[in-house]
Chains A and B, each alone.
Chain A
């Protein structure tokens, strides 16, 4: 029995026993190589689940939908290790209750899908895996290339990219960490960020987005894939993750008990730049 059938029957069992009220997984997409989120509430619907190497989206973003978990019932969700990592972060930020999430874990290695042991978040110890995780080589190379540029060149590089931004906020919509009910860009009194899509407003939006994700990003790359104008958002996220790891030895989403990096401190944190 393949992993897809195994998970279909497990999903059906979860729903028919009434253990979970909803299962978030993947269904067939509009083309052969795309998958679309599928929300199953009955055992019959669970038969439509698809699980293969094209299931790369991070479905944990649906867990923070407003009101979804307020009835105290459980929800099951198909997650890769990066999705499990974002669930860890969400729990540590008190956005999810660990007992409400059932995880149907899987990993994709070289186009092969393997199941992950465990159903509760505490079953997964992904800490070592995350520490050793490196971003794709092209991201690393690009980040190094930018580091070597002069400040002016860097500014021009990002100006060019951010000028393309159309402020569709797809990056915010798709990100499991962007759960604020009212995003800072939607606040108009005071209005911190210009909402029209000119380069300065785009610059500010992207800086703020990156800053708000610093030390919280699970590196799932969803923002990067969602961006309709191909701004390399992963690059900034990667750089921010590197900074918190270098400066504070912090790695987001290692477990669900860690304190968020910017909500905690050590007395001997580095401060070389302060006069």
Chain B
């Protein structure tokens, strides 16, 4: 019997806003889907597109990238730079056929614990509907079978 599909969601978050927001969700005892794996980084400006690709390579079904609202960056402008980078990277993924629903971007401040919890629940539900990202994961399987020679 096959097990029901549990989405794997990887969230790359900045430590000053979204991580603090997730922390607030925790301390406020808000319950949200346990499908998310949070990776804490110093700033959204530190989030390289390579991270997103690596997460997909390692079997993530959805990737979330989240940081401080514009104007609130601890490093003044990290999120503005990140925003440009995402705009371009998102267009690239769309053009090469990686569905836009698989890569999410958001601003969550340290005070928005409720928004964080709600967003994770929404993304988990939507990913559950989308199903596993087999299209991409199959490419990885090819490697594993080949490397067993």
Contacts and interface: CB of A to CB of B under 8 A. Distances in A.
Interface of A: 146-147, 149, 151-159, 184, 192-194, 196, 198-201, 203-204, 206-208, 210-211, 214-215, 236, 239-240, 243-244, 247-248, 261-267, 269-271, 273-275
B105 interface: yes
Interface in B129-148: 135-136, 139-140, 142-143, 146
Nearest to B102: A151
Contact of A269 (B71, B87, B135, B140): B87
Contact of B92 (A236, A248, A263, A265): A236
B29 interface: no
A271 B146 contact: no
Contacts of B92: 207, 210-211, 214, 236, 239-240, 243
Interface size class of B (residues with CB under 8 A): 35 or more
B97 A154 contact: yes
Nearest to B90: A273
A156 B92 CA distance: 15
Interface of B: 49-50, 53-54, 57, 70-71, 77, 80-81, 83-100, 104-107, 119, 135-136, 139-140, 142-143, 146
Given A208-B53, A267-B80, A274-B107, 4 more contacts: A214-B89, A236-B95, A247-B87, A269-B87
A184 B50 contact: yes
B80 A243 contact: no
A239 B97 contact: no
Contacts of A215: 88
A265 B95 contact: no
A100 B77 CA distance: 34
Nearest to B52: A207
Contacts of A269: 80, 83-84, 87
B83 A271 contact: yes
Contact residues of A: prevailing secondary structure: helix
Contacts of A207: 49, 53, 92-93, 96
Nearest to B48: A192
Contacts of A244: 88
**A-B complex: 7 closest residue pairs judged by Cβ atoms:** A155-B97, A154-B97, A275-B106, A200-B139, A265-B80, A243-B91, A151-B99
B44 to A, nearest CB: 11
A207 B139 CA distance: 15
12 contacts: A158-B96, A198-B142, A200-B142, A201-B143, A207-B49, A236-B96, A247-B91, A262-B88, A264-B84, A269-B80, A275-B105, A275-B119
B106 A274 contact: yes
A177 to B, nearest CB: 15
B135 A265 contact: no
Nearest to A155: B97
Contacts of B100: 151, 273
Contacts of A206: 96
B17 to A, nearest CB: 13
A243 B87 contact: yes
Contacts of A214: 88-89, 92
A155 B133 CA distance: 12
Contact of A239 (B89, B95, B98, B142): B95
A236 B92 CA distance: 8
Contacts of B143: 194, 196, 198, 200-201
A267 B87 CA distance: 14
A262 B85 contact: yes
Given A274-B105, A275-B104, A156 B91 contact: no
B135 A152 contact: yes
Contacts of B99: 151
A263 B89 CA distance: 14
Q: Which of B88, B95, B140, B146 has the most CB of A within 10 A?
A: B95
